[in-house]
Amino acid sequence: MNTATLDEIESNQKEVSKDITEKTYKTFWQRIFAAFVDGLALMIIGIIFSMIVPQSNEGITALSTIIDNSVWLIYSIYLHGRYGQTLGKKIFKITVVNTNGEKISFFQAFKRDVVYVVFAIASLLTFYTHKEEHAKYNESLEFIQSYEVTTENYNNEEFKRHLEVTSNVWSTPVMWIGFASMLYFFLEVITMLTNKKRRAIHDFIAGTEVRRLEQKNNS
């Protein structure tokens, strides 16, 4: 067998490998659309929940933070651990598996979301470390929501004071945690786009991959 033939075989093998990788791991847009569907599903769940559970007018509270974070974490961790898919992933025919292609465990499903769990806990802790700020914000928010603004009373000093309190929320710890969460999300996207198997940071943490489901032939 000559060198040219060996080079052709090696070239063909690389092409086949590349083709398999493309068909299996080319999941970026499917994941984006799946996340959109999951967001809609969680929004519907939130609306139903708000109709069942009496709502408070106290603004952002520790309880509302626990509920909001728990719903999507349970949704994500349970469905990934049980089925390897959320509703969105099922619709767009992608699934989460081990690096060897096997079903993931609930612990791996938890590890995929562990960074967001940390962010959620950190947000919750601010209600105890910054009680006074949260109380002032909720008081001002309630005042503004019940205040009927007109051209005559827009410069009302009390209104301006409450407006300033709500404006300062952007410099509070809970908002910095929110910014950190968004930064993490963008790093996830960048990581996903810079490796052949489209693994995000949470995939590396959990030892998982997102693969396209094989299309069944009807023949």
pLDDT in tens, 157-188: 777 777 777 776 666 777 888 899 999 999 99
pLDDT in tens, 64-96: 677 777 888 999 999 999 999 999 999 999 999
What is the pLDDT, as a whole number, of residue 16?
Answer: 46
What is the pLDDT, as a whole number, of residue 117?
Answer: 92
How much of the chain, in percent, has pLDDT values that exceed 90? 42
Q: Are 45 and 79 in contact (CB under 8 A)?
A: no
pLDDT band, residue 204 (cuts 50/70/90): very high
What is the pLDDT, as a whole number, of residue 219?
Answer: 41
Top mean-pLDDT range of 10-14, 41-45, 92-96, 126-130: 92-96
Instruction: Please give the single-letter amino acid code of residue 142.
Output: E
Q: Output 108 or 135, whichever has higher pLDDT.
A: 108
Distance CA 144, CA 137 (A): 10
- The single residue listed with the structure tokens 């949470």 is 202
Q: Output 58 or 48, whichever has higher pLDDT.
A: 48
In this prediction the pTM is: 0.74
- Spell out the residues 6+ positions from residue 193 whose beta carbon is closer than 8 angstroms to its own: 28
Q: State the CB neighbour count (10 A cutoff) for residue 191.
A: 16
Core vs surface per residue 153-187: b (16+ CB within 10 A) or e: eeeeeebeebbebbeebeeeebeebeeebeeeeee
What is the pLDDT, as a whole number, of residue 139?
Answer: 74
